[in-house]
């Protein structure tokens, strides 16, 4: 299948975990992919090499989405390739602490990356998408979290950041629909990534008891949904959030 052939996709936080698998999946769909990373250049270049080995085309580009220059570097890389036609805002961090113990810096740092970074990336990409009047339309897919839907102890900052991104998703979908730009979100549950590996094992055990499918997710459970929302099969879907959590929030 090559439903994304001729499209340029920009994926932030794509050096590992869910972001890396999304980059691979979009490349399998025919997109040329900008693999955004903050610090793990070697890992990002490994993703690029995998895509190239499979016959695709990709570039590793450094940019910290918590800063305006970092966002600009990523978007400019996509512009240089004729895009972005697809933006996946995946980059995110956690810094868990109970509310009474959480510092202002911990709260702000998470929102700077997860929320403000998503806003800046989207605004910069939308400047191009708005002007391009692409007859096939453009797509933004924001990776949020079930934490932004139901809340988890110790994640006031993370849950707030993801709930805010979900709200932005709906606003941007309203604003950009007339320009054929679709804006949607996916909300993964407990997925086996480095981020979840750092969670207290007791939290993971409790999550497993709450998941009807009785397993943690894998990045390969999330990436196909992003590919769908980025492609023509979702041509009449915007402002929505697809929850991918094994039934935990059902």
Which amino acids are annotated catalytic? Answer: 158
Q: Provide the CA 143 distance to its chain's centre, in angstroms.
A: 4
Is there a contact between 83 and 7 (Cβ–Cβ < 8 Å)? yes
Q: Which residue has the tokens 């970092």?
A: 70
**What are the residues facing 191 on neighbouring strands?**
217
Residue of 3, 234, 9, 241 lying closest to 125 (CA atoms): 9
3-state secondary structure at position 151:
coil
| Residues in a beta bridge with 60 | 35
State how far the Cα of 81 lies from the Cα of 232, in Å rounded to an integer.
21
Q: What's the rounded Cα separation, in Å, for the pair 169 and 114?
A: 13
How big is the CA angle at 27 (ends 21 and 33), to the nearest 5 degrees? 90
């Amino acid at each position: 299948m090559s439903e994304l052939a001729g499209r340029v996709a920009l994926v932030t936080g794509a050096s590992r975990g869910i972001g890396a698998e999304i980059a691979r999946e979009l490349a399998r769909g025919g997109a040329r992919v900008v693999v955004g990373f903050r610090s793990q250049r070697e890992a990002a270049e490994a993703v690029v090499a995998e895509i190239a080995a499979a016959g695709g085309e990709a570039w590793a580009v450094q940019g910290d989405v918590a800063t305006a220059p970092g966002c600009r570097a990523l978007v400019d890389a996509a512009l240089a390739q004729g895009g972005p036609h697809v933006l996946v805002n995946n980059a995110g961090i956690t810094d868990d602490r109970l509310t009474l113990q959480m510092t202002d810096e911990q709260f702000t740092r998470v929102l700077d990356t997860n929320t403000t970074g998503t806003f800046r990336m989207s605004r910069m990409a939308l400047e191009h998408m708005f002007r391009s009047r692409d007859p096939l339309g453009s797509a933004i897919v924001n990776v949020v979290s079930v934490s932004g839907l139901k809340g988890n102890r110790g994640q006031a900052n993370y849950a707030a950041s993801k709930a805010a991104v979900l709200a932005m998703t709906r606003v941007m979908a309203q604003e950009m629909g007339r320009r054929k730009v679709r804006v949607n979100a996916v909300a993964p549950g407990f997925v086996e990534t480095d981020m979840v590996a750092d969670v207290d094992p007791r939290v993971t055990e409790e999550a497993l008891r709450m998941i009807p499918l009785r397993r943690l997710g894998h990045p390969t459970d999330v990436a196909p949904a992003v590919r769908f929302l980025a492609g023509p099969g979702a041509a009449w879907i915007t402002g929505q959030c697809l929850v991918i959590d094994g039934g935990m929030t059902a």
